[in-house]
Structure 1
């Protein structure tokens, strides 16, 4: 039964991609239409590349979830423009993190005010995702991140966890969130089968300033990828299987951080589904 539950999680995946020049081509070549694609937003490049790629992928028949970081929104007019553009593209699901832009582009410095405003605008999206942090946020205390999920629960429909490489930490965090009374479905963030050289090349391409910010805030991620044994997502899934598949966990699927290694991620997923009998 546990194997069946793990297979179900692998069948309900979201692929997080970066809005780079070749992303659309890679998605079309390697990702089936039943896989949800989420498109990140860069504090350096702004929302425009995210909105453009979201529209193109949605036109190809994908269910696309754009990231709409609060700190990239200039004002209420900008928020309304973004909503109108996404609705016109047929988007009915958005992910609303606070974002890393420092300073913020406008008045929104956190996700909650944007979530509240979306409600005031008539809840234009059927699904709205918020962030969870199994491993400590570089700038926010753990108690505050869990409290934040509690505060935002009435305005969201699901949670996406940030990267975690420790099965014990992940299991304890899921249990803690549920004890707090947060019952939203959870998509667990897992790094795909990333090769260190390609990851570092990607970090270089997204810009010196953004790469520096990324490294400063997530140094443990690169240490994991740089380890002699590398990173194998299946090891984490095997160790965390009980926590991920327990009915009380409320885990709806996996959110795979592809770092734009899209073909490699889909090959890995298909191989694992075969191994699990799917």
Structure 2
């Protein structure tokens, strides 16, 4: 093997590792799209089912059950502040386990400024002990590489460490799922920072699936993600192409090539399809095939 070949292979291998580990996100309304996309998705893939306002719990439970029937791993979201009572959470967990054999969930504080019930945030749900009581063995928690528009850095840092400590005390495994971004550099910096703080769990870095640039910007603005012209350029988007579409190729490749396991720890990808589940699954399948073929 020549030095040039070895250098090229070392650049490709991190991309292949990321391509072999990914998760997807869907809403309860995406069941038809999931059925269409299923042949493109690797068996056993984790698929998150979001907790959107205005949806009935039965719709989310049915979506999780379909995820399981199709051979994937359902990861329903739990929005702490949208729960009216502990009994509501218990009923939700019971139904998810009975109908979808759920043993993983993702817990987030949620949008309401005032909790509808006893749970102020994700940590309150974890500390309740209900997840462990119902046999949940893996919990996803949120991460914000570019910060949160309403929560300061120190508070975010403490919340992550507190959740890790509580989950460890209950012998529950966990992973961190991040908001999506356009620029890999803040992600790499944040990963190094949380590892230095003592956060050890796997991080699933949020990646926007291929979609229109207007859609990307709309979600970025809503989520508080930086979307300056320079960041868009790094993502491969020209400001003069705002009516076009974009895929995450540059972002994923740059992230993969910047990752250092000793510094950044265990990292995977989590795709936000933004209503284009089949298109995202197709992109991931083609990207993974290209990465695998390049290492043969």
TM range (shorter): 0.7 to 0.9
The answer to whether the Cα contact below 8 Å between 1:135 and 1:163 also exists between their aligned partners in 2 is no
Rg: which structure is higher? 2
Identify the residue that residue 58 of structure 1 maps to in structure 2: 68
TM-score normalised by L of structure 1: 0.84
Structure 1 unpaired stretches of 5+: 204-210
Is 1:17–1:39's contact at 8 Å kept on the other side of the alignment?
yes
What residue number does 1:176 align with? 193
Instruction: Give, in whole Å, the separation in 1 of the partners of 2:34 and 2:180.
Output: 24
Distance in 2 (alpha carbons) for counterparts of 1:149 and 1:104:
20
Number of corresponding residues = 267
Query: Paired residue for 2:288?
Result: 273
Q: Residue 9 of structure 1 is aligned with which of 14, 18, 21?
A: 18
**TM-score with structure 2 length normalisation?**
0.80
| Cα distance per residue 1:161-202 (max 9 Å; x no partner) | 1112111111110011011111111111111112246669xx
Report what 1:218 is aligned to: 224
After TM superposition, list the pairs within 5 Å mapping 1:39-58 onto structure 2: 39-45=49-55, 47-58=57-68
What is the CA distance between 1:29 and its match in structure 2?
5.3
Select the residue among 107, 111, 122 that pairs with 1:111: 122
In structure 1, distance between residues paired with 2:112 and 2:60: 15
The aligned residue for residue 143 of structure 1 is 154
Superposition deviation, residue 216 in structure 1: 4.4
Where 1:135 maps in the other structure, the secondary structure is coil
1:260 to partner: Cα distance? 2.5
Task: Specify every segment of 5 or more residues in structure 2 that has no aligned partner in the other structure, as ranges.
Answer: 1-9, 168-172
**68 and 127 in structure 1: CA distance in 2 versus 1, 3 angstrom threshold:** same
Q: Which shows bigger deviation, 229-238 or 110-119?
A: 229-238
CA 1:219 to 1:245, structure 2 compared with 1: closer, same or farther past 3 Å? Answer: closer
Task: Provide the alpha-carbon RMSD of the alignment.
Answer: 2.7
Go from structure 1 to structure 2 and tell me whether the alpha carbon gap of 1:272 and 1:216 turns closer, same or farther (over 3 Å shift): closer
